[in-house]
Structures are given as C-alpha cells and as structure tokens.
Structure 1
C-alpha cells in the first residue's frame, strides 16, 4: 500500500505543479500581449490562450486542492454530527466520488467528440478545441481519483487523506 500511496500523492502533487505552470503561462501571455501592444504589434489569440491556461490551471489544481483542504466543505455540518461525523464524511466523499466520476466521464467523452468532429475555437486563434479540453478531461479524472482515494481511505481506516490543520481540528 505504501507504493500506491506515494504514487497517488505524487500524482496529486504533479497536478498542482502543472496548475502552477499554467498560472505562470498566463503571466507570460499577458506580458507578451502588453509588449506586443507597446511595440505596435498584435498577438492574435492571446486572450483565448490565457483563457485556456486559466481553465487548465483550475482543473489541474482540483485534486491537489482537495487533498490540502482548500475546497469549500461542509465542516460546520460535519462537526455538528458529533459521533456520526464519519457517516457524514462517507456520504460527502461518496457523493463527491460519484459526481466527479460523472464529470470525468463526460469531460473525456466531450474531448473525444471534439476531436472526432474537428471542432475549432471561435476565437482568433482557431485552435482545435480538443487541445484545451485535454486539461479539463485530465483534471476531472484526477479529481475523481482523489475522491475515490479519500473515500476508500475513510472506509478502510476511518480517516480521509485531507491534510489541512483547520479540517483536522474542526476549527474552520
């Protein structure tokens, strides 16, 4: 189990690193667009590319953020459950796993449909839309894996894998 745990944690960390790189890419695109305007040039599609990077940064960060307690949670309700908190956690992680799996399925399916139909973005960039959709598909799959991972850990050990001090102590 140690190897699987390290692999999953590395996967979530990789998603966070990729999200950070896409955030830096947004900065680079914005600065390049500013320089292009100052020099009288045009950077066609810069706004579209920045938008794709924003979406990629968001989707890749979901699993990392979940495991670090950065998502909005229902901790007040869970704390009010007292001795039934674990049942509430099971329900929350179960619903999160099912819903994120649904989104992952349709994210991947939508990406392949865009590839199949050769959908092109409507912006100036004329990018095949399946390319930016890769980040949504991969990010939702990572999130679904993280939810199933936390659900399985909660069932087997009685504790989920979220590592936020506020969540662990119940003092959000």
Structure 2
C-alpha cells in the first residue's frame, strides 16, 4: 500500500510539473506569435484561441496536483515556533488533532468541489472564451488534487498513530 500511495503522489507531482511546462510553452508560443505580428505586420497577426483560459486551467491543475506531494515531502509552510517547545507527548497529541481536523476539512473541500463539478456537468456550464470548454473538465483536476491531499493527510495521520510519536518533523522530506 505504501508503494502505491507514494507512486500516486509522485505521479501527481509529475503532472503538476508538466502543467507548469505546458504553461511556459503556451505563453512562449503566444509571445512568439506577438513578435511575429510586430515584425511582419497585420498579415502575420495570429493568436492562440483562449490561450489565457488554458494557461489559467493549467495553473489551477499545477496548484491542486502539487498539494499532496508537497505535503508528503514536508515542503508546505509550517510554523514550528510553538510546537518545537512542547514535549513529545503534547506534540504528538497536537499533531494528531491537527491532522484529524485537516483531514476533515480537506474531505469536506473535496466533497464540495466534487458537488460543484457534478453541478457544472449537469447544467452544461462552459467557459466564455473563444473556445467554450465545459467547466467540469478543469474542475475534475481540482477534485483529484483535493482528494489526493485528503488521502495524504489521512496517510500521515495513520503513520503518526502507528508510530505513537510525531511524524511531521523539520526533516520530513523523503
């Protein structure tokens, strides 16, 4: 099970990185077309339809798909000012509490995002750009990213319960 979860987190991080690369390529292509139009005049004026919309969808995909792997590797921003001064038992209890609350919050966020996605699909919501994209398509990635983050948080909670000590430390990178 550990190997499967780690593979899921790695794939999610890889897809996030590919989304960032796609943004770079898309924006670079449009900049190149803008330069071509400046140099060649109106006859060479081209644009990638809805490129800004697609760049936004890719940015959302990168952001949501990166949540689980960054959490797993301990690279989310955490403030350890208080927890570093607590004893091991209190620190562990606080970790269990925060992971449980975070798991519930992310579970709710995932459920709500999935409900929104299904509503968008039901009503046939589409984007307003030159290319009308069904809104549920980019929302699927948001739901997937939130679901993976929920899974990663619950995964850490189970690890902490099994270890009977805090597992979220400054050197949590794997």
How high is the TM-score relative to the length of structure 1?
A: 0.89
Instruction: Give the 4+ runs in structure 1 shifted more than 6 A.
Output: none
Work out the number of aligned pairs and report it: 164
Residue aligning to 1:154 = 160
Q: What SS does the aligned partner of 2:81 have?
A: helix
Distance across 1 between alignment mates of 2:166 and 2:131: 43
Distance across 2 between alignment mates of 1:147 and 1:115: 28
Residue aligning to 1:143 = 149
Residue aligning to 1:133 = 139
Mapped pair 1:71 → 2:68: no
Inter-CA distance 19–163: structure 2 relative to 1 (3 Å threshold): farther
Aligned pairs (5 A) from 1:1-172: 4-39=1-36, 40-83=45-88, 84-159=90-165, 165=171
Uncovered stretches (5+) of structure 1, i.e. residues with no partner = none
**Root-mean-square deviation (Å):** 1.7
1:107 Cα deviation after fit: 1.2
1:137 Cα deviation after fit: 0.6
Inter-CA distance 18–38: structure 2 relative to 1 (3 Å threshold): same
Per-residue CA distance 1:1-27 (angstroms, 9 max, x = gap)? xxx011111111111001000010100
1:44 Cα deviation after fit: 1.7
Distance across 1 between alignment mates of 2:6 and 2:168: 11
Uncovered stretches (5+) of structure 2, i.e. residues with no partner = 37-44
Higher radius of gyration, 1 or 2: 2
Given that residues 95 and 168 in structure 2 are in contact (C-alpha distance below 8 angstroms), is that contact kept between their aligned partners in structure 1? Answer: no
Given that residues 68 and 145 in structure 2 are in contact (C-alpha distance below 8 angstroms), is that contact kept between their aligned partners in structure 1? Answer: yes
Distance across 1 between alignment mates of 2:128 and 2:80: 42
1:162 Cα deviation after fit: 5.3
Per-residue CA distance 1:27-78 (angstroms, 9 max, x = gap)? 0110111122223211121111001000000000000000111112232222
